Structure 1
Amino acid sequence: MTAVAGRRLIYVSDDQPGISRRRRGRGFTYIAPDGTTIARGAERRRLEALAVPPAYEDVWMCTLANGHLQATGRDTRKRKQYRYHPDWAEAQAATKFAGLARFGHALPRLRRRVARDLKEKEGEHIFALACAVTLIDRTAMRVGDPAYTRENGSYGALTLRNRHIELDGDKLHLRYRAKGGKNVRRTMTDRKLAGILDRIGDLPGRELLSWVDADGTAHSVGSADLNAYISDITGEDGVTAKTFRTWAGTLSAFKVAEKGGATIKAMSEAAADTLSNTPTIARNSYIHPDVIALVKSDPLELEGLDQRDLFAAEGRLLRFLEYG
């Protein structure tokens, strides 16, 4: 674990007793678990520095300065939000990016297995999982969360409805509201994906991706099942459906960087366009630091790793991540 002022981060939960706050005038009074008021001083400054928005309700704050989770609360739309210790967030990001090359090596194997599972009958669970991976791999869209769909009307791969996709031969027209309220309008030509989506268009179920059990009952694809499917094939515990977005964001930035003279802004905008995100989020969460370090560098002349089922740019990115 990371050290903080000589102490290591401690894993905590907001189920544990914590500090609450009560509005007082234009600010807040902070109440310790034993009911006492926290006076002005270092502890009060720590709590205020967490910058939990005034509108948040049900706010919980950690009693420990070295707790990995520093605060939680509900925003105005009742969504739970988290404030992590900066060192924890940094360590998590480092872990995510450290495994990206391993994901690149496992990607051909995953794609071959998915291609095999797509030969199963429509409506089978394994077929639905393979469809989900293909959709995420080809579009880099978010996985999707039923709770977000209910609360915010936002969608991802596992929560899309038929109305969100229009097929025109090999063309796909995607029209949906993504996380954060961003309206995605995207047209792409992808014969393989269009063919898959055409096959599942008449399956029962509310979601676009569904499977049917032996009793004829339709089920949506769960994110836990999808991640287990991906992890089992790749042999990497840390690889999930979200890893595809990190790979796609990094790849988009890398394509800009390898031409030479790239700016952080250009790389971030390329990744953001791929991910339907803001450039800031793309820069901070989805682009490998080693690729960011290529800012304003000379053009790269890399020979990609020769792996079947990797696109040429993916092979070059994988070689760069491994050998620099």
Structure 2
Amino acid sequence: AGRRRYHYHTAFRERQDAAKHEHVQRVARSLPRLRQHVERDIAGRGLSRPRVLACLTRLLDLGFLRVGGDGYARDNGSFGLTTLLREHADCRGGEIRLHYPAKSGKEVTRALVDEQAYKVVRALLRRSNPDSRLFVYWEHAEWHELHGNDLNAYLRDRSGQDVTAKDFRTWYATVLAAVALAVSDNTTDASAAHRSRVVARAVREVSGYLGNTPAVCRASYIDPRVIELYDQGGTIAAALGELGRDVTFGHPATHGRVGRAVLHLLGSGGP
């Protein structure tokens, strides 16, 4: 009976994981539409709600960041994108620098370059009100805080899909893993032990970007089909070759051709 329950639980978990990754692929196909809306909103004037939400989305899209929760910030002193304080950000030389304590006490450091987001974050840092919260907006002659549910509502509205901030991390974990495997020194006659080492190294690299342990990263974020296909000789190496020789793992250009190549690898086509 115990063995049957174990197999049932394993099969149930596999079905859940498959459904999750299918959902994330639908999210990935909606990203071009979302980015078009973000481009329009972030080009606005002032610190309006749409413009600041577009800035949050741009940073989420570039930095693989957790969205953050007010309870964690209040009770544990751990932060995410929407709960960042002004002291956690700095704008210098066109670069947005973020440094803050995140989940499980991990220190997160990001240096992001985006001209439009830079202008918004710099304006937020320079605003006159004393609130320590970084991401706020001005409406009806007063400042309002933004929270994770506000960002998720914006993502759903602008993408036309049931998108959450966490979907970005799941998708980019898969994309980054696909890139790491594609640039490895794999050959079709490589031993199973060699391929296993390559996979382990790729998972460690992705976990470093996400701030998870390798075990959590592989179990909960990376689509297992990317690893299965790698074992069968399938990677996105050709797409990386078309981008040029300077493409390296971890480059923020996880959009465009690279994202489409991962969708194609997984058999779902591209946007």
> Does the TM-score normalized on the shorter chain lie above 0.5?
yes
- Which structure has more relative contact order (CA 8 Å, sep 6+)? It is 2
SS in 2 for 1:242: helix
Q: Which residue of 1 aligns with 2:134?
A: 208
The aligned residue for residue 267 of structure 1 is: 202
Q: Please report how far the alpha carbon of residue 172 of structure 1 lies from its aligned counterpart in structure 2 after TM superposition.
A: 2.9
Bigger helix share: 2
Say if 1:300 and 1:202 are closer, same or farther in 2 by CA, change over 3 A.
closer
Q: Distance in 1 between matches of 2:76 and 2:268?
A: 43
**Cα deviation, residue 156, structure 1:** 0.5
Q: 2:152 aligned with 1:222, yes or no? A: no
Q: Structure 1 residues 121 and 88 mapped into 2: Cα distance closer, same or farther (>3 Å)?
A: farther
1:112 to 14, 36, 44: 36
Identity rate of aligned residues, in percent?
32
- The 5-angstrom pairing of residues 1-324 of structure 1 reads 89-203=13-127, 204=129, 205-216=131-142, 218-237=143-162, 239-260=163-184, 261=186, 263-298=198-233, 300-303=236-239, 310-322=255-267
For residues 98-120 of structure 1, the C-alpha deviation after alignment (integer angstroms, 9 at most, x for no partner) is 12221221101101101101122
Q: CA RMSD in A?
A: 3.0
Shift of 1:201: 1.9
Q: Tell me how far 1:279 sits from its aligned partner.
A: 1.1
Distance 2:47 2:144 in 1: 9
Cα distance in 2 for residues equivalent to 1:269 and 1:99: 24
TM-score normalised by L of structure 1: 0.66
Name which one, 1 or 2, has greater alpha-carbon Rg. 1
Greater per-residue strand proportion: 1
Q: Write the distance in 2 (CA, Å) between the matches of 1:182 and 1:125.
A: 30
Q: How many residues align?
A: 241
Give deviations 1:35-85, integer Å, cap 9, x for gaps.
Answer: xxxxxxxxxxxxxx9xxxxxxxxxxxxxxxx9xxxxxxxxxxxxxxxxxx7
C-alpha contact (below 8 Å) 2:55/2:120 kept by paired residues = yes
Structure 2, unmatched stretches of 5+, are: 187-194, 241-253
Do 2:43 and 2:51's aligned partners in 1 also have CA atoms closer than 8 Å?
yes
> Residues 284 and 227 of structure 1: is their aligned pair in 2 closer, same or farther, counting only changes over 3 Å?
same
The alignment's TM-score, normalised by the length of structure 2, stands at: 0.78
**In the aligned structure 2, how far is the partner of 1:244 from the partner of 1:232?**
16
Comparing 288-297 and 125-134, the one that deviates more: 288-297
Quick one: distance in 2 between partners of 1:314 and 1:126?
Answer: 26
Q: Which amino acid aligns with 2:256?
A: F
